[in-house]
Amino acid sequence: MQKRFASKWGFILACVGSAIGMANVWGFPYKLGDNGGGAFLIIYIFFIILFSLVGLSAEYAIGRMSRSGTLGAYEYAWKSRGLGKIGALIGWIPLAGSLSIAIGYAVIIAYVLKALAQSLTGSLMSVDTAQWFEGFALSDYSVVGYHFVIILATLMTIFLGAKSIEKTNKIIMPLFFVLFFILAIKVASLDGALDGYKFLMNANWDKLSEPMVWINAMGQAFFSLSITGSGMIVYGAYLAKKEDIVDSAKKTAFFDTIAALVAALVMIPAVFAYGMNPAAGPGLLFVTLPKILQDMAGGQVFAIVLFTAVIFGGITSLQNMFEVV
């Protein structure tokens, strides 16, 4: 099994794949809409810069120096103070956290796969989206089959270690960006989309004085960059000694932010074009957008594109969580 990434860009794309996921394509747009638009964006970018230079680069460095998984990396980091065994015990905290997140995360991606399947059959185009979402989100075992497919597909991509992770991300990540750019171009042609762009660009400065806006932006940046869960420590263990860690962290943060912005440029203008609420919360992806796609010319095709792109982003993030565990 290969224990190193073959190229710098392979490593960066794998890290970008981990960072890009539901936090970008689902969480960021609705939090942006719920926290004042441009003001939230400014705070978010501030935290992305801070955490990428400090937290992300540190996790890469710890991983590369220890050449180990989560427990070994924490033991290595604490060993300098003679507390290696305590460090190994503390390492169980992010390990358990990654497992817990992965369990719930896989269910959300299963929701997306269900939406994709019903987009392919066309049945999603004729349902009441609110009732449709509640029908399976509030029902036990409603997406077990889809959940199994997601788990199996993700495990297959990490079977050969760094080599397979690198190869899948070299394919999936470019496709992710291409699909979302296609959607962004389509949304730009909608009447009323301009109001959505204005919302994104015009900052509500009063929001800067609200502590919860800062907390939400900070939490979004943490989750978006995949730091503190030890996933980036594990990927750092696959990084060659010659690679510039800080530069890799900057590139990861840059492409992660681009993905979040492109997702927002798809969802927020579409919501404004159809006179809906940009602060729709978690229902934005599963209720509001499907409703918009039902009314849009070529909506079925664009629904397939949207949910395929979201699944790509979700699987690459889940891939990192499973690699940690």
In a domain, 236, yes or no: no
Q: What pLDDT is attached to residue 226? A: 86
Nearest Cα to Cα of residue 22 among 260, 322, 189? 260
Residue 191 has pLDDT above 50, yes or no: yes
Q: Would residue 275 be called left, alpha or beta, if left means φ above 0 and alpha means ψ between -120 and 50 degrees?
A: left
In a domain, 163, yes or no: yes
Position 241, amino acid: K
Q: What pLDDT is attached to residue 281? A: 67
First to last CA, the chain: 17
In a domain, 77, yes or no: no
In a domain, 31, yes or no: yes
C-alpha distances out from residue 111 to 96, 104, 148, 152, 158, Å: 23, 11, 12, 15, 22
Contact between residue 5 and residue 14 where contact means Cβ atoms under 8 Å apart: yes
Q: What pLDDT is attached to residue 1? A: 42
For residue 6, the SS3 value is: coil
As a residue count, the chain comes to: 325
In a domain, 72, yes or no: no
Q: How many domains does the chain have?
A: 1
What value does the mean pLDDT take over residues 239-243?
A: 86
Tell me 82's DSSP state.
Answer: T
In a domain, 153, yes or no: yes
In a domain, 4, yes or no: no
What value does the mean pLDDT take over residues 98-120?
A: 91
Q: Which residue has the tokens 């074009």?
A: 273
Q: Indicate the pTM of the whole model.
A: 0.84
Residue 161 β-bridge partners: 2
Tell me 125's DSSP state.
Answer: G
Mean of per-residue pLDDT scores for the chain: 87
Please name the residue ranges forming H helices in 141-161.
Answer: 144-157
CA distance 101 to 318: 9
DSSP code per residue over 187-222: HHTSTTHHHHHHHHHSB-GGGGG-HHHHHHHHHHHH
What value does the mean pLDDT take over residues 170-181?
A: 89
Write phi, then psi, for 278 (nearest 5 degrees).
Answer: -70, -15
In a domain, 121, yes or no: yes
Domain, as residue range, for 188? 22-46+104-226+253-324
Contact between residue 119 and residue 309 where contact means Cβ atoms under 8 Å apart: no
CA distance 234 to 28: 25
CA distance 239 to 2: 12
| CB hemisphere CA count around 149 (13 angstroms) | 14
Nearest Cα to Cα of residue 142 among 159, 117, 174? 117
Structure tokens at 257: 């932010």
| CB hemisphere CA count around 42 (13 angstroms) | 12
Model confidence pLDDT, tens digit, residues 53-72: 999 999 999 999 998 888 88
Model confidence pLDDT, tens digit, residues 115-174: 999 999 999 999 999 899 998 888 888 899 999 999 998 888 777 666 778 888 888 889
Q: What pLDDT is attached to residue 31? A: 85
